[in-house]
Amino acid sequence: MVRDGALSLASTDEAARVGEPVSTDDADGVGGVRERTGPSGGGRVPACIHVPAIRLENLGDPAFCKDLGIRYPYLAGSMANGIASCEMVEAMSGAGMLGFFGAGGLLLGEVEAAIDRLTRALGDKAFGFNLLHSPNEPDLEAGAVDLYLRRGVRLVEASAYLGLTLPLVRYRVHGIHLADPHSRGRLRHNARRSLAEGDGAIVTPNRVIAKVSRVEVASKFLAPPPESFLRELVQSRDITEEQARLASRVPVAQDLTAEADSGGHTDNRPALTLLPTMLALRDRMQEQYNYDRPLRVGLAGGIATPASAAAAFAMGAAYVLTGSVNQACIESGASDAARQMLAEAGQADVAMAPAADMFEMGVNVQVLKRGTMFPMRAAKLYEIYQSCASLDDIKASDRATLEKAVFKGPLEEIWNRTREFFLQRDRAQVERAEKDAKHKMALVFRWYLGQSPRWANSGDASRRIDYQIWCGPAMGAFNEWAKGSFLERPENRRVVTVAMNILYGAAVLLRANVARSQGCDLGRETLSVRPLTLEMIADRVREEER
Ligand SMILES: Cc1cc2nc3c(=O)[nH]c(=O)nc-3n(C[C@H](O)[C@H](O)[C@H](O)COP(=O)(O)O)c2cc1C
């Protein structure tokens, strides 16, 4: 298609149709440059440029989408306590994307109910569940793996790992086998290519997408499972010798999400430095192990606008994964009150605060700061935990403040409730606390850290000041971008509308960059992609389908 080149591409409408290539020739013989008289001002622009179509499907690694059975390289990450709800996972799957159910913090029965619902609703479509490392309560992780294996959950997002664990490896290698040689014709070419067995590709029915922020942890996920774990699994008859041999030739995770500064657990790493480092690691590991199927790396943390997604794809991310922006959408398990607070957050309205699950280890999570005293109160609890040996050791004035403002009751009463809870869930915690006063104090403090997200999710007005809402700076970036549009109001935010805007806007910006790199100075209106309805986006990407 030949157009009046740089001039017409500078119009918003032309740049918007991302599925349509724009080429210009030098038909009027102006010799490479011409005077510009477009709406965004004058100047000399090249007479010949070519801007390719960018299909949203092709923004990341199309092989990743194909393997997972999704259309777009966009994932919604797990959010604990069902904040990443069944509704959210269903919406994502329905639109050709992928969501992970937020299994963390839920009872196994609740997770199983979600498995029932999603299996019924989604059938063969792609969806996954969270598998969380829980060093304080290892039975939780093992119980989740038992459940996932029993119910045939084929995809997990593995997170919060500092090293590999036996249950994780057990999940990954369960059912590993060689493909039936008769079905080889159906296998992808690269899966067939380098088979040491010579008679079929290695099939791993269970897929792990690891989410990590540290290179040393990532290198464990991108390597084959440790031999010591495979030996243990053979001994416990979870796998055969033959399966152990096959397992030693596949990575624990073929796909890895590099998680930069994000909501929830985070090392606050900058995306601009983390992703290139993880991509380099991917290449090293691929070369070292010469896997049949290439390793892939996606990016999470701070993805909230067309510009951030464009940057991720331009740097080489196979896919993007979001969290904070989805919590503010109507499908999330958050309360309306929490959604409203999120919709008002700015860039700097977040803070690090002690995490309930790894409180004693001093691990922090990123939370919303605006409108809640949770970060301050949780930090005070950690300070007391560090300086006192037991509940009885706490200074009288501090104890009075805690009982009045934070716990709203005597600490001994909170301990009784905590004890009851752990007698049901994990008796060993109670036995340990009854011998170790510091551990008892930790469990009591963790009661507050554990209840505060529940108050936020249920919208308990009497506890508004204690809401613990996990949130990263992505939320402020999104709010800034959505300001003045229909997406400013939380009741209009839907995960698919947000996702499609981010992807579509990324395609527009990437095309604008291609034009700019050819010397075409685009107008400001082309570079600021405003929120659109799904219908408007569908209209603009329709060219692709012609
Ligand atoms: C409210 C909330 C809860 C989260 N809970 C979990 C979780 O249980 N498991 C997990 O792997 N990641 C969890 N995350 C992280 C997200 O899945 C995602 O990786 C992260 O939010 C991406 O960064 P962003 O917040 O900048 O978009 C949570 C994030 C938020 C905002």
Handedness of CA 66, 70, 71, 74 (dihedral sign): negative
Q: If you measure from the C-alpha of residue 235 to the centroid of ligand 1, how many angstroms do you get, rounded to a whole number?
A: 36
Residue type, 188: R
pLDDT band at 40 (very low <50, low <70, confident <90, very high): very low
Ligand 1 neighbourhood includes 282 CB (under 6 angstroms): no
Q: If you measure from the C-alpha of residue 83 to the centroid of ligand 1, how many angstroms do you get, rounded to a whole number?
A: 10
179 vs 186, higher pLDDT: 179
Q: If you measure from the C-alpha of residue 243 to the centroid of ligand 1, how many angstroms do you get, rounded to a whole number?
A: 34
Take atom 18 of ligand 1 and give the residue whose Cα is closest.
323
Q: Which of 411, 441, 474 is the last residue of a domain?
A: 474
Answer whether residue 331 is part of any domain: no
Our mutation pick for probing the ligand 1 site, out of 100, 161, 262, 335, counting the most ligand atoms within 8 A of Cβ, is: 262
Q: What is the predicted pLDDT for the residue at 221?
A: 98
Q: For 316-330, what is each residue's pLDDT tens digit?
A: 999 999 999 999 999
Domain count along the chain = 3
143 lies in the same domain as 232? yes
Our mutation pick for probing the ligand 1 site, out of 75, 79, 131, counting the most ligand atoms within 8 A of Cβ, is: 79
**CA–CA gap between residue 208 and residue 129 (Å, rounded):** 10
Mean pLDDT score, 290-302: 97
Handedness of CA 517, 518, 523, 528 (dihedral sign): negative
Q: If you measure from the C-alpha of residue 289 to the centroid of ligand 1, how many angstroms do you get, rounded to a whole number?
A: 31
Judged by DSSP in three states, 126 sits in: coil
287 lies in the same domain as 163? yes
Answer whether residue 339 is part of any domain: no
- The minimum-distance atom of ligand 1 relative to the CA of 157 is 11
pLDDT band at 14 (very low <50, low <70, confident <90, very high): low
Q: For 50-105, what is each residue's pLDDT tens digit?
A: 888 999 999 999 999 999 999 999 999 999 999 999 999 999 999 999 999 999 99
456 lies in the same domain as 537? no
Residue 281 confidence (pLDDT) above 60: yes
- Structure tokens that stand for 259 in this block: 């998680």
Q: What is the predicted pLDDT for the residue at 15?
A: 65
Residue type, 98: L
Domain of 307 in residue numbering reads as 65-172+206-322
Ligand 1 neighbourhood includes 266 CB (under 6 angstroms): no
- Structure tokens that stand for 394 in this block: 């706490």
Q: For 422-470, what is each residue's pLDDT tens digit?
A: 998 889 999 999 999 999 999 999 999 999 999 999 999 999 999 999 9
137 lies in the same domain as 257? yes
Ligand 1 neighbourhood includes 83 CB (under 6 angstroms): yes
Ligand 1 neighbourhood includes 99 CB (under 6 angstroms): no
69 lies in the same domain as 96? yes
Range name among 77-81, 187-191, 270-274 with the lowest pLDDT average: 187-191
77 lies in the same domain as 44? no
Our mutation pick for probing the ligand 1 site, out of 100, 308, 470, counting the most ligand atoms within 8 A of Cβ, is: 470
Residue 337 confidence (pLDDT) above 70: yes
Ligand 1 neighbourhood includes 14 CB (under 6 angstroms): no
The CATH number that applies at residue 108 is: 3.20.20.70
Task: Tell me how far apart the terminal alpha carbons of the chain are, to the nearest angstrom.
Answer: 14
Residue 41 confidence (pLDDT) above 70: no
Ligand 1 neighbourhood includes 526 CB (under 6 angstroms): no
373 lies in the same domain as 454? yes
pLDDT averaged over the chain?
Answer: 90
Q: For 371-389, what is each residue's pLDDT tens digit?
A: 999 999 999 999 999 999 9
Could you tell me where the DSSP H helices lie in 95-165? 108-122, 138-150
279 lies in the same domain as 307? yes
Ligand 1 neighbourhood includes 327 CB (under 6 angstroms): yes
189 vs 203, higher pLDDT: 203
Q: What percent of the chain has pLDDT over 70?
A: 87
Q: If you measure from the C-alpha of residue 362 to the centroid of ligand 1, how many angstroms do you get, rounded to a whole number?
A: 19
**CA–CA gap between residue 25 and residue 431 (Å, rounded):** 79
Residue 190 confidence (pLDDT) above 60: no
Q: What is the predicted pLDDT for the residue at 128?
A: 98
Q: If you measure from the C-alpha of residue 378 to the centroid of ligand 1, how many angstroms do you get, rounded to a whole number?
A: 19
The answer to whether the CB of 355 falls within 8 A of the CB of 364 is yes
Q: What is the predicted pLDDT for the residue at 344?
A: 97
Q: How many CA within 13 A on the CB side of residue 151?
A: 23
Q: Which of 272, 289, 322 is the last residue of a domain?
A: 322
Cβ atoms within 10 Å of 526's Cβ, excluding its own = 23
Q: If you measure from the C-alpha of residue 84 to the centroid of ligand 1, how many angstroms do you get, rounded to a whole number?
A: 9
380 lies in the same domain as 272? no
Residue 525 confidence (pLDDT) above 70: no
Ligand 1 neighbourhood includes 476 CB (under 6 angstroms): no
pLDDT band at 4 (very low <50, low <70, confident <90, very high): very low
215 lies in the same domain as 136? yes
Q: If you measure from the C-alpha of residue 77 to the centroid of ligand 1, how many angstroms do you get, rounded to a whole number?
A: 6
The answer to whether the CB of 93 falls within 8 A of the CB of 126 is yes
Ligand 1 neighbourhood includes 457 CB (under 6 angstroms): no
Answer whether residue 482 is part of any domain: no
For residue 314, CA distances in Å to 53, 235, 272, 323, 482 come to: 15, 46, 11, 21, 23
Ligand 1 neighbourhood includes 102 CB (under 6 angstroms): yes
Range name among 99-113, 123-137, 264-278, 403-417 with the lowest pLDDT average: 123-137
Answer whether residue 306 is part of any domain: yes
Mean pLDDT score, 269-284: 98
Ligand 1 neighbourhood includes 470 CB (under 6 angstroms): yes
**CA–CA gap between residue 66 and residue 503 (Å, rounded):** 17
Q: If you measure from the C-alpha of residue 327 to the centroid of ligand 1, how many angstroms do you get, rounded to a whole number?
A: 9
pLDDT band at 192 (very low <50, low <70, confident <90, very high): very low
Residue type, 231: R
Q: Which of 445, 474, 503 is the last residue of a domain?
A: 474
Take atom 1 of ligand 1 and give the residue whose Cα is closest.
470
Q: If you measure from the C-alpha of residue 301 to the centroid of ligand 1, how many angstroms do you get, rounded to a whole number?
A: 9
Answer whether residue 489 is part of any domain: no
45 lies in the same domain as 120? no
Q: If you measure from the C-alpha of residue 76 to the centroid of ligand 1, how many angstroms do you get, rounded to a whole number?
A: 9
Answer whether residue 189 is part of any domain: no
The answer to whether the CB of 172 falls within 8 A of the CB of 252 is yes
Answer whether residue 178 is part of any domain: no
Q: What is the predicted pLDDT for the residue at 526?
A: 62
Q: For 477-500, what is each residue's pLDDT tens digit?
A: 999 999 999 999 999 999 999 999
526 lies in the same domain as 463? no
Answer whether residue 334 is part of any domain: no
